[in-house]
Amino acid sequence: MADEYNPIRSNLKRKSDSTITTSPTKKVFTDAKLLYQDTLPDSAIDCIPLPDAIDNFEIILKTTFDTVTLKNKQYRSQRLQHFYKKLKDGKKLTMFCHDMKGNYLPEDLSNQHALDLSKSDPGYPFLFSAINYTDIFIYFSHHGISVPPKRWINEVHNHGKLALGTLLFEENSNMKISSIISNINKSAEKLAELLDHKYFDGYLINVEVEVEKNDIVLFKQFLHRLKDAIRKRIGYDAPVIWYDAVIHDGSLIWQNQINEKNHHFYDICGFALINYCWKDDELKNTANFAKYGKNTVFFGIDMFARNTVYSAGINGCADALQMIQKYDYSAGIFAPGHHRESVLSPQNDGLEDLYKYWMPVKSYFENDPIPFTNPIKIGSPFKVFEKCDHKLFITYDKYHRYSCMHEKISVTGTKMVFAKAGLYNLLSIVIEKPISFEVSCSAENGIVVFRNDKHKIKTLTNNDSTQVIVKTEHQLTIEFRALKDNAILHFIYIL
């Protein structure tokens, strides 16, 4: 099929044909030699010189936002439409609220990292392998406005999920309620423009300060305006989620449920994230106020288990999920980096445990097929581009997609190891329309299999490369058949 039918390749340009090794009959793409321009069809763009962490709302009010022109805005609409369809279908959703060491860490702000292997903690970045099982990813920090860094927006969007920022008010912060309600319409419009320019998908609203009664009335009006302003700006509804803290009269009293004291905020926003100190009675009572459906209520789960009825860590998370989903609520998991902070030793880069840590809760999550918007790479999320003495220089592979979790898959360095011989489902992708694409792989003692529904399309072996033509609009499944124990997959590229 001609290239003009491939929306991916038409939006990408190779920097140099000399970076691609060729043979007389086919091209072989290697991990280090796939180089493309930074701008991908569905990626965050630095449109304006604004920081991602903002503590003074006056900065936003004084910023002039031009109209954003994105060639591929359909990807935003596809993400939002898929999210709201799951909501309408009554499916339980999963939210992860990422707050690790205050966030905006060096690993979040740069694509390249120098690891010092001579130190007890070389500085390996945090990796989140459950992104396939996520519906909403919130980037949280103790700043007034927290916009997800480009790294996280791209990673979340690559998997077809929603990336949300945070609007936070707390003690000793320069972000004041008065700054918002002094001009409700302008405040809402500016936050909608910020969302559009930074290319994220909604807001968590977290008010953890006492608010005057008159001001709380005005703030409710602001919530209405914010939803309207986002819809007007991007052309679609986007999630605005209320965090359970302040009640109807402005008092700061966490309810750990939706009840007669705080349902007004949920009624306006349409979504609520409940504080994580709930008990069974709060789960039961919330059903009386979940007017938009139980799946619009995300009961919080704290991985550190502060003042909770469940224990810390992944096993406590599994217990909490069982309690929450018994009542058909959605789940909002705080601090997914708990295992990186508390469980892994500093010397461990986290790759070896990457596909195993979340296994105890896998059955509670739904693994959606991902949209084919950007090039896809399966394998290690890192590239090693230089090693010098005790320094290791790595970069994120920006096309990387996490494969389905499996207890017999481990990731070590730049390879995936399959402990036992057998067939493994790696990934499912959605093909929106008939296309052709190029695929290459490098494997040892294994075969990569492409299936369209139940029909095998193509198989690839070690250092193989070919063009795959998908003639029907179906879900494409990528499998790995390990022919022996400890078979190795170095990478799969789909372009």
Q: pLDDT tens digit string along 95-120?
A: 999 998 888 888 888 777 788 878 87
Same domain, 346 and 424: no
CB 11 within 8 Å of CB 71: yes
> Which pTM value belongs to this model?
0.88
Instruction: Judge whether 150 lies within some domain.
Output: yes
Query: Tokens in use for 350?
Result: 């986290």
Same domain, 376 and 264: no
Separation of alpha carbons 33 and 18, rounded Å: 9
Same domain, 299 and 276: yes
Q: Which of 334, 364, 394 is the last residue of a domain?
A: 364
- Phi and psi at residue 5, in whole multiples of 5°? -85, -5
Q: Which of 344, 364, 384 is the last residue of a domain?
A: 364
Separation of alpha carbons 59 and 237, rounded Å: 25
Query: Tokens in use for 11?
Result: 């939006």
* HEC per residue, 14-74: ECCHHHCEECCCCEECCCCCCCECCCCCCCCCCCCCCCCEECCHHHHHCCCCCCCCCCCCH
For residue 24, give the CATH number of its domain. Answer: 2.60.120
Read off the pLDDT of each residue in 161-183 and give the average, rounded to a whole number.
94
Same domain, 110 and 251: yes
Looking at 113-236, list the stretches that DSSP marks H as alpha helix, in order from N- to C-terminal side: 150-158, 177-181, 184-198, 213-234
Please determine, for residue 17, whether its predicted confidence score (pLDDT) is greater than 70: no
Query: Tokens in use for 156?
Result: 């979340």
Domain that holds residue 113: 53-364
Q: How far is CA 86 from CA 204, 224, 298, 342, 429, in A?
A: 20, 24, 14, 34, 17
Separation of alpha carbons 84 and 295, rounded Å: 11
Same domain, 185 and 314: yes
Quick one: pLDDT at residue 72? Answer: 61
Same domain, 408 and 301: no
37: confidence class by pLDDT, cuts 50, 70, 90: very low
CB 334 within 8 Å of CB 369: no
Quick one: pLDDT at residue 425? Answer: 94
- For residue 109, give the amino acid letter: L
For residue 267, give the CATH number of its domain. Answer: 3.20.20.80
**Closest of 151, 154, 74, 149 to residue 374, by C-alpha:** 154
CB 369 within 8 Å of CB 127: no
Instruction: Judge whether 45 lies within some domain.
Output: no
**Closest of 418, 380, 423 to residue 401, by C-alpha:** 380
Q: Which of 364, 389, 419 is the last residue of a domain?
A: 364
Neighbours of 15 (CB within 10 A): 9
Please determine, for residue 223, whether its predicted confidence score (pLDDT) is greater than 50: yes
Instruction: Judge whether 175 lies within some domain.
Output: yes
Please determine, for residue 208, whether its predicted confidence score (pLDDT) is greater than 90: yes
Look over the chain and give the mean of its residue pLDDT values, rounded to a whole number.
85
Provide the number of structural domains found in the chain.
Answer: 2
Same domain, 375 and 256: no
Residues 6+ apart with CB under 8 A from 25: none
Same domain, 30 and 110: no
- For residue 101, give the amino acid letter: K
Same domain, 399 and 339: no
Most confident of 39-48, 182-191, 344-353: 182-191
- Phi and psi at residue 482, in whole multiples of 5°? -80, 115
Question: How far from chain centre, in Å, is Cα 491?
Answer: 22
Same domain, 380 and 359: no
Read off the pLDDT of each residue in 257-275 and give the average, rounded to a whole number.
98
Instruction: Judge whether 60 lies within some domain.
Output: yes
Separation of alpha carbons 320 and 314, rounded Å: 10
Same domain, 343 and 377: no
CB 285 within 8 Å of CB 259: yes
CB 200 within 8 Å of CB 148: yes
Percent of the chain with pLDDT over 90: 55
Same domain, 345 and 444: no
